[in-house]
């Protein structure tokens, strides 16, 4: 669960996403946690949603 918390914090702090993208991304992550999705799938789907996520994950040390 620590990775998800770190990711949500990183999303909220980044300047690479709009407020709307941040809100939608965190909402999706929370839905995926409930669905018990694998962390790798979350990375793939977020990177598809916005390429900035590749850099965000890297900056957070999650990939």
| Domain assignments of the chain as residue spans, ordered by start | 2-59
Sequence-separated (6 or more) residues with CB below 8 Å from residue 38: none
Q: Is the pLDDT of residue 17 over 60?
A: yes
Number of C-beta neighbours around residue 31 at 10 A = 10
Q: pLDDT at position 45, please? A: 86
Instruction: Read off the pTM.
Output: 0.63
CB of 10 closer than 8 Å to CB of 52: no
Distances from the Cα of 52 to the Cαs of 1, 34, 35, 36, 57, in angstroms? 22, 24, 24, 24, 9
Taking residues 29-40, what's their average pLDDT? 77
Residue with the two structure tokens 């702090």: 13
């Amino acid at each position: 669960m620590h990775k998800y918390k770190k990711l949500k914090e990183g999303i909220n702090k980044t300047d690479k996403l709009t407020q709307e993208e941040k809100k939608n991304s965190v909402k999706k992550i929370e839905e995926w946690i409930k669905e018990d999705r694998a962390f790798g799938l979350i990375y793939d789907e977020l990177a598809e949603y916005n390429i900035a996520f590749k850099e965000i994950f890297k900056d957070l040390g999650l990939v």
